[in-house]
Amino acid sequence: MARRKRGSAERPPHPDATDARSGTATADRLRPWLVAGVCALFVARPLIASESAAAEGDGLPIVMLWLVLAVVWLLGVLGRPDFRVRFGWIDAAVLGLFGLNVLAAVVGAVRGSPRPAVNMLWEWIGLGLGYFLARQFLAAAREIRAAAAVMIALATGLAGMGLYQYFVELPATRAAYARDPDATLRDADLEYLADPQQRRAFEDRLNSPEPMATFALTNSLAGFLAPWLVLTAGIGVLWMRQEVRVRAGLILAAVLVAGCLILTMSRSAYLATALGFALVGIWAGRRLWHHARLLAAAGLVLLALVGVAVATRGVDASVFSQAAKSLGYRLHYWQATTRLIADHPWLGVGPGNFQAEYTRYKLPQAVEEVAEPHNFLLEIGATAGMPAALVLLLALGAYAWRLLRAPRPSGDSTEPPSPAYRPGASTWALVGGACGFPLAMVLGLLASVSSAILGLSIALSLAVIILILLRRWVDDGWLAPRLLGVAVVVLLVNLLAAGGIGFPGVSGTLWLLMALGLNAAECGTGSETSDTSDVWRLTRRSALGLFAVGFLLLVACYATAYNPVLECRAWLRAAKRDPQARASCWQRAARADQLDARPWGLLAGDAFARWQAQGDQAAQALFHDYTEAALARSPNESAAWFIAGERYMAIYRATNLPEHLERSLAAYRQAVERYPHNMEYQAALALALRLGGDEVGFREHAKEAFRLEEVSGRGGHPRLNELRKELPRNVSRKM
């Protein structure tokens, strides 16, 4: 394996150009398909309607396709004596980050809940493959612009979907729910009918006016839209030679994306976007005067969008008046997360296991058991350890340095065609991006929640329009590396307060922007191909080794995640369709996925219900076995331990057998250990201790329950009212 030295007089050939000495052109014939595949997968992932990558494994089909794409590429180069790849020390830092996350996921699968950890292990591998394949195939200047156009089109499509949700879909759903709540929930295939807490959560989400498009949270949609809005505006300001058609495409994209972004009411996205606009303005300098009328028109359009949002109550004063309150919540999350990191500094708690571990450190005044700490650095530190966070900072710093050192061409420059560039490559990128929409429709059928076909159709239509309008810019335009860097800054500023670097639908933008930025910096200003020292020549043996690794990873992903997760989900859905056979379906689901706790939890609940209805001793024994199996697969889930404690307590009250009281006490203790600031858990343990004759323990935990009630400011809990009945008058105030 040899590497070209920096400063060598000989210009390296394009890493994917046909080399007469290499022997075969198979890889060159595959390259357009690979370019299309990379763009399609980057488009498809945000369109899959879920952020349940850890719990549900909704992103595993995309991960499998990334692995297939990598294996196909390596298979195509096996016939060459050597082949070239882009890989520099910035890439090495990024690889180190992905590697540490994978290692942390392995450790988290052993120490915590295995299924979420294994799912996230593969998600991080998928993100890494996306980054490195983008580095290889989106390398020529026109390909970089094509990928940027594809993502701008995707952002426009998602914004259109969000606007459709806001003005049409959500009002219709709210009206249908008001007429017949149960029918609406059944039609949505939601199991909230018997759980008042989840039902309230669904109603709160339904009554929330903010659009979400295909994301589970409106903040995630805003985080995705913000960098592409700034990139769109930057292209309009910095590239002078804009035809009417290109300008129309940029304006349409900016208006739709800005309109949807305003409706999200995401303060962090607002701040990040404003910073991005400021950076573009500082960089543009005097060029802004060339666009004075256009900027004035843009300002008027922005004011009009804000006016419409205010008039339709899409934005209100609470966006700003509650900013301090929202920041206070985040300070609670960050303080608890720093304590978690202090206890797990090296490898964290593992991707996918944050929420279960967070409750151990959650402050009593905090209002949520958050899935991530709303800060990307703390999230990496908590889930993969501080070394991973430091490696991420190193990679980002080196990336910024590389882009700042990139040449600064004039805004009206264009790249001359290069003999090594194949004119059809950008077309393949655009077609691949458009194909990402139907691909998402198909893969969405495998997800836990399917996107509305009408919404995706609207998104596809808008995306195709944008791609057609921007085609001339893709062919003859200009995209500065620093503008891609500004987009990265926008996304990171948003992630500092909103979090989500572990959500592939959001973080995929980060890794794509970094890959495109590095490739653009290497392209320079006067050529279509990369002129860089970060090109390695690998031997056929190296290619064979990489192919073997890729193939083994593909098989491993299928065996450990893709097949068991999808088969388990299929049986869980079958149980919903046929309630009479649900126990059998749950058993099949448990056998299909040995790592998932959910089928065992459902079986435990079913056995407990049968015991309650019939007093069946066999059902009681099954309940115990199923509960043990579920807890073994979710050992740090405080709610699972508490539910087990409640059920064992019910059995004890019915049978008066001490063994059930002991099991109840043990489960309550585990719940309190994992969530010490939950006043309901403390009160339940106190009452159980009194039944067991432990008066000292009873008073200790009763005192803590009342203290938490006072600190949290959330009084009137039924379990604490029950606890008060066990105490003499006014004793609770003195405890």
Instruction: Evaluate if residue 339 carries a pLDDT over 70.
Output: yes
Greater pLDDT, 94 or 185 = 94
The pLDDT of residue 598 is 96
Alpha-carbon distances of 261 from 229, 273, 537, 565, rounded to whole Å: 9, 10, 44, 34
Instruction: Using DSSP, state whether 693 is helix, strand or coil.
Output: coil
Model confidence at 418, pLDDT cuts 50, 70, 90, reads very low
pLDDT of residue 314: 65
What Å distances lie between residue 87 and 4, 132, 404, 484, 518, CA to CA?
Answer: 11, 8, 19, 19, 10
Scan for tokens 């004075």, then name that residue. Answer: 292
178 in Cβ contact with 457 (< 8 Å): no
Greatest Cα-to-Cα distance within the chain, rounded to the nearest angstrom = 93
Phi, psi (deg, nearest 5) at residue 212: -130, -15
Evaluate the CA torsion angle 385, 387, 389, 391 in order and state its sign. negative
Q: What percent of the chain has pLDDT over 90?
A: 65
CA pair distance 464, 477, nearest whole angstrom = 19
The answer to whether 388 and 100 are in contact (CB under 8 A) is yes
CA distance 74 to 547: 5
| CA nearest neighbour of 380 among 218, 496, 506 | 496
Helices 218-238 + 244-264 axis angle, to 10: 150
| Residue 339 and residue 361 in contact, taking contact as beta carbons nearer than 8 Å | yes
- In tens, the pLDDT along 441-478 reads 999 888 777 777 888 999 999 999 999 999 999 998 88
Residue 681 confidence class, pLDDT cut points 50, 70, 90: very high
Distance CA 713, CA 255 (A): 43
Amino acid at position 181, single letter: P
Residue 149 identity: A
Whole-number Å distance between alpha carbons of 551 and 557? 10
What is the layout of strands, in order, in the sheet containing 535-539?
2-3, 535-539, 82-86
Give burial (CB, 10 Å; 0-12/13-18/19+) of 321: exposed
Which region among 89-103, 210-224, 312-326 has the lowest average model confidence (pLDDT)? 312-326
35-64 pLDDT, tens digit each: 999 999 999 999 997 667 888 999 999 999
Which residues in 376-462 belong to E strands, given as ranges? none
Token reading at 703: 């005192």
Closest listed residue to residue 332, CA positions, set 278, 370, 388, 286 = 370
For range 325-337, the mean pLDDT: 93
CB 218 within 8 A of CB 266: yes
**pLDDT above 60: residue 19:** no
The mean per-residue pLDDT over the stretch 729-735 comes to 47
Measured in degrees and rounded to the nearest 5, phi and psi for residue 533 equal -85, -10
In 215-265, which residue ranges form alpha helices assigned H by DSSP? 218-238, 244-264
Over residues 527-543, mean pLDDT: 71
Rg (CA), the chain: 28
Give 718's pLDDT tier (boundaries 50, 70, 90). Answer: confident
Cβ atoms of residues 16 and 31 within 8 Å: yes
Euclidean distance between CA atoms 440 and 47, whole angstroms = 6
Place of tokens 């591998």: 125
Alpha-carbon distances, residue 303 vs 276, 278, 310, 463 (angstroms): 18, 18, 10, 25
The secondary structure of residue 417, as a DSSP letter, is P
Q: What are phi and psi of 322, to 5 degrees?
A: -100, 15
Task: State the CB neighbour count (10 A cutoff) for residue 201.
Answer: 12
Asked if the model's pLDDT at residue 530 lies above 80, the reply is no
pLDDT beyond 90 at 186 = no
Of residues 129, 118, 102, 132, the one with CA closest to residue 55: 118
The closest of 65, 56, 33 to 439, measured between CA atoms, is 65
Local confidence band at 735 (pLDDT 50, 70, 90 cut-offs): low
Which residue reads 């006067």 in tokens? 526
Q: Which amino acid would we find at residue 257?
A: V
Which of 564, 715, 537 has the alpha carbon at shortest distance from 8? 537
Of 367-371, 448-452, 604-608, 672-676, give the lowest mean pLDDT range.
Answer: 448-452
Residue whose pair of structure tokens reads 């076995």 in the numeric block:
625
Encode pLDDT of 556-575 as tens digits.
999 999 999 999 999 999 99
Is 7's pLDDT higher than 60? no
**Helix or strand or coil: residue 454?**
helix
Averaged pLDDT for residues 656-665 = 96
Highest mean pLDDT range out of 77-81, 310-314, 688-692? 688-692
